[in-house]
Every structure is written in structure tokens, then in C-alpha cells.
Amino acid sequence: MAIEEGWLAEARRVPSPNCDERPHDEVSLLVLHSISLPPGEYGGAHIEHLFTNRLDPEAHPFFVSLQGLRVSAHLLIRRSGECVQFVPFQRRAWHAGRSSWHDGARLRTALNDFAIGIELEGNEVSAYTGAQYQRLVEVTLDLFGAYPQLDASRITGHAQVAPLRKSDPGPAFDWAYFHQRLHECQAAGLIVD
């Protein structure tokens, strides 16, 4: 895969209005999330509808709680490994909310200003699929190539940057396996430093 003008070439594009310009020309953090709508159910267009402000609050009782919410992510990786992109990477998606991250000794807030948000279709307790891990590794390597400030030490979960509010991608996400696969693919030369 390649990134062209902020878009992942092989991703299906579903542009979201829930984005704006980054205040600085910085992309230096990757935040992983999980999402399923309704909770625990996979497939369908509900996530796309949420990120494009078209979610029908009457389609499911849970959706009433999301009414009026304006959120997005840069990318969704479905259970099948399909990528759906909502916001070009150089723009600010609205995914991390109130959050903070230690960048070395410096505590940073307003993470959306410099972070890329990737949603994995899933929840905190159900295993993610092999296709999702494979696609996430591929996308991450592409992002490393496009944004030199990114590396494996600059990947975190929503739970780590907003621990009192969020728990995703949760204990079901195998961080060790993801980093092992990422390292193996880097070692195999699938990324140019």
C-alpha cells in the first residue's frame, strides 16, 4: 500500500466532515482504538454513518446516546482487514478527545493535533482477527515511511492516553504480537527508513 496526498491508496474513502487543519505540520503519534456499533456487533454501515454524522438514532436503542456526537478517525480496519479511510492523514481527525501523552519528559495534551487515529472493528474483550493485525502492520509501516517522526515507540492505545474515560483497544488487543509482527516486517525490509 502507498499513501498519496494523505490517503491510503488501497483504502475505501468515506470522507468525514469531522476534521480540520492541524495547527502545526506534525504527525508524530499513532493512537489505536476499537469500535463496534451496536456494541459487540460487527459489519454494516453504522460506524461509517457515525463518522459522517448520518447515524440514525432510531436504528438501535444504543444510538440515542450517540446523537449529536461529532467524531471521526483517520482509518477503520474492519474484521476482514478492509481499510476505510475517513480523514486524510495530514488533517486532524476528532478521535482522542481529552487525552494526554508523555513525549519523553514532556506531557502533551490535545493529541488530535499531532496523532493519527486508527479504529479496529472490535471491542475490548473479543480477539481481533489475523487479517486486522496484518493490515495494521502494513498500514503502520506505510505511515512510518510517510511520517519520519513515527516509530514503534510512538504507538499507543486510547486507554493509555485517556485512562479515566476509555478502555480501548483493551486487553483483547495483543500488543506483544503486534510489535513482534511489526519488527519482523521491518527486519524483512518491508519499510525504507
pTM above 0.75, yes or no: yes
Q: Smallest Cα–Cα separation from 44: which of 30, 63, 31? A: 63
Q: Which domains does the chain have, with CATH numbers?
A: 3-187 (3.40.80.10)
Task: Answer positive or negative: Cα dihedral of 100, 175, 37, 116.
Answer: positive
pLDDT of 1: 63
Please report which confidence band the pLDDT of residue 192 belongs to, taking 50, 70 and 90 as the band edges. Answer: very low
Phi, psi angle pair for 13, to nearest 5°: -90, 130
Tens of pLDDT, residues 18-55: 999 999 999 999 999 999 999 999 999 999 999 999 99
The residues annotated with a catalytic role in the active site are 119
| CA distance from start to end of the chain | 16
pLDDT at 189: 78
Q: Over 70: is that where the pLDDT of 125 sits?
A: yes
